[in-house]
Amino acid sequence: MSDLHGNRGGKRERLIQSAQLLVHQQGVQRTTLAQVAANAQVPVGNVYYYFKTKDELVAAVIATYDDEMRAMLVMLERRPEPADRLKALTRHWADMGEISARYGCPMGSLCSELDKADGALDRDAERIMAIVVDWAEEQFRQMGQREPRDLAIALFSSVQGSALLANTFRDPDIVARQARRLEDWIDSLT
């Protein structure tokens, strides 16, 4: 493995991981580079060797979500039935209920915050959401549904909304119960 980016000890990776956690917990604006550096056990001023700006670091965090989401969808493709794939995705989100109740959906709350910002980061975050919706749309289409796009958005809306309410009320049960409803709903379509 070459030493691109001079990542002796994987500092770059540690910084991204640290930023990912802190941004989820505190949001982009409230997370300072000092916190990210401390959490990654890297000197503050050194951050700028790996990322020219804070936005660039956040972009790297978003890129990580992108990778993770794509990998997840590839995994789901293994299932032969589109309805099963959709239910598995729903269950995956339900499994994150505890953490969503604490800090919100990592991508959802990030999109919410970035859409109020000036930069171009919101476009990066939007792309990930689009990947999920497009994928769900394709599954509903394969199920022979008439309006697969609306169904995909209905599913994803419910997931995002229940994560928001779970976070607001600090009640992980909200995600779990709504996920169960959604699985039943998917079954009812077949």
Partner DNA sequence: GTCTATAAGATGATAGAC
Partner DNA sequence: GTCTATCATCTTATAGAC
Interface residues toward DNA, by CB under 7 A = 3, 5-6, 8-9, 11, 31-34, 42-46, 48-49, 52-55
**Contact flag: residue 162 with a copy of itself (CB under 8 A):** yes
Q: Which helix (H) or strand (E) holds 172?
A: helix 172-189
CB of 144 to DNA, least distance (A): 49
**Contact flag: residue 168 with a copy of itself (CB under 8 A):** yes
Q: Which helix (H) or strand (E) holds 35?
A: helix 33-39
By CB atoms closer than 10 A (0-12, 13-18, 19+), residue 34 is exposed
The option from DNA, a copy of itself, none interacting with 33 (CB < 5 to 8 A, set by class) reads DNA
User: One symbol per residue from 25 to 64: x for binding a copy of itself (CB under 8 A), - otherwise; what is it?
Assistant: xxx-xx----------------------------------
The nearer residue to a copy of itself, 19 or 42, going by C-beta atoms, is 19
Q: Looking at this protein, which amino acid is placed at residue 142? A: Q
**Contact flag: residue 119 with a copy of itself (CB under 8 A):** no
CA angle, residues 133, 94, 14, in degrees to nearest 5: 80
Q: Which residues contact 103 (CB under 8 A, 6 or more apart)?
A: 24, 25, 109, 167
Give the total of residues touching a copy of itself (CB under 8 A).
40
